[in-house]
Each structure stands twice: as structure tokens, then as C-alpha cells.
Amino acid sequence: MTLPIGNNLKVWRAKFDLTQAQLAEKSGVSRKTINTLERGIYIPSVALALTIAMVFETDLESVFFLIRE
Amino acid sequence: MNADLEPIDIIEKKRRNSLIGLTLCFSLWQIGQIATLNFKGLFNESVFLFFSMVTFVGALGVVGLFIYHRKANNLIKKHPELCHQINDERSCHLRNQALAYGFSGAVASSSLFLALSFVTEQVDSDIVFSGAFVSHSIMLITVITSLVAYLILDKEV
């Protein structure tokens, strides 16, 4: 069974002082997508996850991670 | 966001409301059409007039919203660099999911009509569902299921 995916998007946005709209623009997606990503409603594709990690100048696992029970 | 892009931002926010409007107007239009085309003999004049008005209002609404969407598309065409934001992976994913729900609605409604036809045949063999009525109804259920599914999936919690 696939483990659920969590994220630190809000933390990283605060570090870079980015609004959801600004992150959306840099990542090439809509603000709604960033919002649903942060809330864990939408799981990003690998390409989008890597793009967001690149925006935050960090590796993928620092932004997205598996939630182990 | 600069002043140039504000109309698109407004349109995106109104998009959901216009989609709700489109769903309602399309439902009215098609329900009115199904009723007036297939159950004419069962209605008295006032009921027939009511459904005719429902059809007319629904059709007007669909035309109006179609024009609104065309204007929105023309505005978006002026900013092609925003297309990947407006039409991103999540919206494509939601669209595919909504279409899948629509397909399920089509299969479910077809099965329902098939079952109904078997039952009515046993009860009274004179009761027959016309092909136009069945296909029209299945089309309506399919489209509405897709639209409603998209609206529910797209809802920002």
C-alpha cells in the first residue's frame, strides 16, 4: 500500500517570503494548485515536485516526504 | 500581478460561478426539451407552456454563458504565457476525473433504462421508451455528471 505524502510547502514559502500566487507563478501552475498541494488534497507529479524543489533551491525530500505511521 | 493581468484573475474567480450557471441552464434546457418532445400528450396547456419556458430560459442561459466563455478565452489568448498556469496539471487531472465520472454516469443511466424497460415490459407491454427519449436522457445525465463532478473536485476546501 502506498504511504501518504506530506509537505513543508508553507515553511519553505515563509523562508523565501513567497505568497501562494508567487510560488504558483514560479512553478508554472495555478494558485489553486499550490493551495491544494499545501493542504495535501492534491499530490503533485514528479515533474511539478522537482520544479517546486528547484524554486526553493533544495532537494525534493526537503519539501515532500512520505508519512510513515 | 500587474493591471494587465487583473481581468484574467477576475475571470478565473468567476469561472466557477459561470460553470455552476452553465450546469443549471443546460439542465433546464435539456429537461424542458425532453419533457416537451416526449411527454406532449400527457400535459395540459399550462404545463406544456411551463416546460417550453423552461427550455427557452435554459437555452438563453447557455447561449449567454457560451458568449461569456468566448470573451474569457479571447482575453486569455492575449496572454499565452499564462496558459500553463490556467491549464496546469491539476486542472487537466480534474478534467480527466470529471470525464471518467461522466462515463460512469452514462453506463449507470444506460443500465437503469435497460432495467426499466424490462420491468415495464412485464408490467405493461404497451409502455415503450422511445430511442430519442433514452438517448437524450443518457446524454443529459452524462454531461451533468461530468460538470457536477468537476465542480465538486475543483472546490477549494
pLDDT score of B5 more than 60:
no
pLDDT for position B123? 86
Amino acid B98 reads A
Is A25 a residue whose pLDDT tops 80? yes
CA distance B152 to chain A (A): 13
Strands A64-66 and A5-7 turn out to be antiparallel
Q: What per-residue confidence (pLDDT) applies to B131?
A: 87
Q: What share of chain A is helix, strand, coil (3-state, %, to 5)?
A: 55, 10, 35
Asked whether the predicted pLDDT for residue A34 surpasses 50, the reply is yes
Nearest to B85 among A30, A36, A42 (CB): A30
> In the structure, what pLDDT confidence band is assigned to residue B1 with cuts at 50, 70 and 90?
very low
The alpha-carbon gap from B110 to the nearest alpha carbon of chain A, in Å, equals 32
Amino acid letter at B80? P
ipTM of this complex prediction, to 2 decimal places:
0.84
Give A41→chain B minimum CA distance, Å: 9
* B89/A44 Cβ within 8 A: yes
Q: Closest approach of chain A CAs to the CA of B90, in angstroms?
A: 6
Alpha-carbon span B90 to B101, nearest angstrom = 16
Residues of chain A positioned with their CB less than 8 A from the CB of B85? 24-25, 28-30
Contact A28 B91 (CB under 8 A): no
Residue of A28, A41, A44 lying closest to B84 (CB–CB): A28
- Round to whole Å and give the CA distance between B32 and B9: 35
User: Own/partner pairs for A39-47, CB < 8 Å, 24+ apart?
Assistant: A39/B157, A40/A4, A40/A5, A40/A6, A40/A7, A41/B157, A42/B90, A42/B93, A43/A5, A44/B89, A45/B89, A47/B89
Which residue is associated with the grid cell 449507470? B108
pLDDT at A17 over 90: yes
B77 and chain A in contact, CB less than 8 A: no
Q: Is the pLDDT of residue B8 over 50?
A: yes
pLDDT tens digits for range B69-127: 787 777 777 777 777 777 789 988 999 999 999 999 999 999 999 999 889 888 887 77
The pLDDT score that the predictor gives to residue B3 is 47
Q: How many CB atoms lie within 10 A of CB A34?
A: 28
Alpha-carbon distance of B157 to B154, in angstroms, equals 9
User: Residue B138 is placed in which grid cell?
Assistant: 443518457
* A33 to chain B: closest CA residue: B90
- Does residue A10 surpass a pLDDT of 90? yes
- Tens-digit pLDDT profile for residues B13-61: 677 788 888 899 999 999 999 998 888 888 788 888 999 999 999 999 9
For A42, the grid coordinates are 492534491
pTM: 0.81
- Comparing alpha-carbon positions, the chain B residue that sits nearest to A25 is B85
Contact A48 B12 (CB under 8 A): no
Interface test with B, best of A18, A20, A22, A29 (most B CBs within 10 A): A29
pLDDT at B157: 54
Q: How many CB atoms lie within 10 A of CB B114?
A: 12
| DSSP annotation of B31 | H
